[in-house]
Amino acid sequence: MAEIKVEICTGSICDVITASAFPIDRIELNCALELGGLSPSPALLEAAAAHTRIPILCMVRPRSAGFCYSQEEFSLMMKDAELFLEHGAAGIVFGFLKEDRTIDKERTEKMAQLAHRSGREAVFHRAFDEAVRPFESVETLISCGIDRLLTSGGMPTALQGADLIRSIIQRYGSRIEILPGAGINETNVSALIEKTQCTQIHLSAKSMRHDLHAYPCCDKERIRAVLEAVRGVR
- Tens of pLDDT along 98-133? 999 999 999 999 999 999 999 999 999 999 999 999
Provide the residue ranges of all domains of the chain, joining segments of one domain with +.
1-59+204-234, 64-151
CATH of domain 64-151: 3.20.20.380
pLDDT of res. 1: 52
Q: Phi-psi category of 226—alpha, beta or left, where left has phi over 0 and alpha has psi -120 to 50?
A: alpha
Q: Residue 40: pLDDT band by 50, 70, 90 thresholds? A: very high
Return the SS3 of 7: strand
- Tens of pLDDT along 194-225? 999 999 999 999 999 999 998 999 999 999 99
pLDDT of res. 145: 98
Q: Residue 232: pLDDT band by 50, 70, 90 thresholds? A: confident
> How far apart are alpha carbons 127 and 58 in whole angstroms?
16
Residues linked to residue 92 through DSSP beta bridges, in sequence order: 58, 122
Q: Residue 231: pLDDT band by 50, 70, 90 thresholds? A: confident
Q: Phi-psi category of 158—alpha, beta or left, where left has phi over 0 and alpha has psi -120 to 50?
A: alpha
Q: Residue 233: pLDDT band by 50, 70, 90 thresholds? A: low
Return the SS3 of 201: strand
The count of other CB atoms within 10 Å of the CB of residue 215 is 15
pLDDT of res. 188: 97
The count of other CB atoms within 10 Å of the CB of residue 28 is 27
Tell me how many degrees the CA angle 156-217-207 measures, rounded to the nearest 5.
65
